[in-house]
Amino acid sequence: MNDISNLRATLSELDDLLVNCMRCGMCQSVCPVFQDSMLEGDVARGKLALIDGLAKRMIDSPVAVKERLDKCLLCGSCEANCPSGVKITDIFIKARTVLTAYIGLSPVKKAIFRGTLIHPRFFTGLLSMGAKFQWMATSKADPFLGTSCSKIMSPLIGNRHFLPLAKRPLHKDYSGVDTGKGTAGMRVAFYPGCVVDKMLPQVGHAVIKVLEHHGCGIYLPKNQGCCGIPALASGDEASFLKLLKHNLKPFSQGNYDVLVTPCATCTSTIKKLWPKMAAKISPEAEKKAQRIADRTMDISEFLVKTFDVDLSAHAVVGEKKTVTWHDPCHLKKSIGVSAEPRTILKGLPGYEYAEMNEADTCCGNGGSFNLLHYDTSSRIGAKKRENILATGADVVATGCPACMMQMTDMLSQGHDPVAVKHIIELYADAL
């Protein structure tokens, strides 16, 4: 282990950010983790006080502080509502990185991030192997939702009803696509993100269908890497930077007009974290990342701002259904997109739109938070489930695959007849 005084010195570099927290405690009203436990160590104020306390020698337990910091969804609800404008998630990510460097990465995470994620080709290969075996090991838990509860895996991962790996990942069908400008006169780069590629390829297919429908040229470079957020959230800056370097190459080329993703977390990471972190690589890398970030948009935002998305005149097939919307934290709180998806849903033929209560409250997934704190994550998810059910909706739509996984898990465990869809799937179906 490194010298603790070095650790304190590095944490002290955060002082200019930390000092802005006035300990008003208002973040208690929005933090899903705090509302579950009612413990100060779970809310932003408490976590910031711990970082501060460690830096200022009031406390001496980096491991315990790291544990508290890890019990956080990085949902940004606190930051979006902080009266003092504290850059909370920046502080958390930086502190996690510093603490991880001091304590070391857990062996499991090390294996995942260092061994697989940062080698996109290998990771992809590994997962598609998994897809083949998975069908032998899982039973169909709830046929309606298409989840499967793995008998073999369940001692390891609790009673999750997780989405199976797709038999055929998206990149098997689309890789290295570049169709020029298209009839709409624009070239759109498409970044599906890991979960869409490997678990929800149907979302990727829907994006492509929609882009083609609107006459966009598509640029989908080969061998895209993970956006890096799982590594960075775990404090593994080195792996994040490796992935970022890997991704900068294809996306600095292609001369595209917009880069779209159907994953709120990827969008937010690309827009907000790539440029900041690329500065650590080189000024040129920062410039490249900024160019990419400036052109990056959530798929719904892109559609609404570019095309007429009102399909209400289209013929209705079958009975009218009700759809509701869940605001992913990384969409609404992080990049301020919340009106556009509603515009799309309200213009869908055959659907009545119903707003759910607390539509912008976190679903409780939080990436690896779900793995580390499944109980808390489930209790937060259970509230989301109640709000979904209260609308009486047949379909809950959202804009982030991680939220889709969480809501699928929650609804499937309750055997609720509510389908979980990415908004782009609904839009594509209606075309």
Ligand X SMILES: Cc1cc2nc3c(=O)[nH]c(=O)nc-3n(C[C@H](O)[C@H](O)[C@H](O)COP(=O)(O)OP(=O)(O)OC[C@H]3O[C@@H](n4cnc5c(N)ncnc54)[C@H](O)[C@@H]3O)c2cc1C
Contact stretch for other proteins (CB under 8 A) within 32-40, 132-140, 293-301, 319-327: 32-40
Q: Using DSSP, state whether 389 is helix, strand or coil.
A: helix
- Counting residues that bind ligand X (by CB under 6 A) gives 3
- Going residue by residue from 28 to 67, which x/- string records binding to ligand SF4, judged by CB under 6 A? --xxxx---------xxx--x-------------------
- Of 14, 33, 44, 50, which one interacts with other proteins (CB under 8 A)? 50
User: Cα–Cα distance between 188 and 184 in angstroms, integer?
Assistant: 10
Query: Would residue 212 be called left, alpha or beta, if left means φ above 0 and alpha means ψ between -120 and 50 degrees?
Result: alpha
The residue written with tokens 């100060």 in the block is 40
- Contacted entry of ligand SF4, other proteins, ligand X, none for residue 65, CB cut-off 5 to 8 Å set by kind: other proteins
The residue written with tokens 């990471």 in the block is 269
Q: How many CA atoms lie within 13 A of 24 on its CB side?
A: 13
Buried b (16+ CB within 10 A) or exposed e, 387-416: bbbebebbbbbbbbbbbbbbbbbbbbbbeb
Which run of H or E residues covers position 405? helix 401-413
User: Cα–Cα distance between 166 and 298 in angstroms, integer?
Assistant: 23
Q: Using DSSP, state whether 235 is helix, strand or coil.
A: coil
User: Cα–Cα distance between 373 and 160 in angstroms, integer?
Assistant: 12
Contact stretch for ligand SF4 (CB under 6 A) within 68-76, 251-259, 261-269, 401-409: 68-76
Contact stretch for ligand X (CB under 6 A) within 23-31, 54-62, 169-177, 317-325: 23-31
- Contacted entry of other proteins, ligand X, ligand SF4, none for residue 44, CB cut-off 5 to 8 Å set by kind: ligand SF4
Task: Name the amino acid, one letter, at 290.
Answer: Q
State the nearest-atom distance from the C-beta of 82 to ligand SF4, in Å. 3
State the nearest-atom distance from the C-beta of 192 to ligand SF4, in Å. 25
- Of 2, 6, 15, 24, which one interacts with ligand X (CB under 6 A)? 24
Specify the residue, 21 or 309, whose C-beta has the smaller distance to ligand SF4: 21
Which run of H or E residues covers position 358? none
- Going residue by residue from 83 to 122, which x/- string records binding to other proteins, judged by CB under 8 A? xxx-------------------------------------
- Counting residues that bind other proteins (by CB under 8 A) gives 29
Q: Applying CB under 6 A, does 176 fall inside the site for ligand SF4?
A: no
How many residues are listed for the chain in this entry?
Answer: 431
Specify the residue, 19 or 152, whose C-beta has the smaller distance to other proteins: 19
- Of 27, 243, 258, 356, which one interacts with ligand SF4 (CB under 6 A)? 27
- Going residue by residue from 10 to 29, which x/- string records binding to other proteins, judged by CB under 8 A? -----xx--xx-xxxxx-xx
Q: Applying CB under 6 A, does 157 fall inside the site for ligand X?
A: no
State the nearest-atom distance from the C-beta of 186 to ligand SF4, in Å. 35
State the nearest-atom distance from the C-beta of 289 to ligand SF4, in Å. 23
CB-count exposure of residue 283 (10 Å: 0-12, 13-18, 19+): exposed
Do 251 and 220 touch, CB atoms closer than 8 A? Answer: no
Q: Which two tokens stand for residue 141?
A: 């838990």
Question: Interaction with ligand SF4 in 74-113: which residues (CB under 6 A)?
Answer: 74-78, 82-84, 86, 88
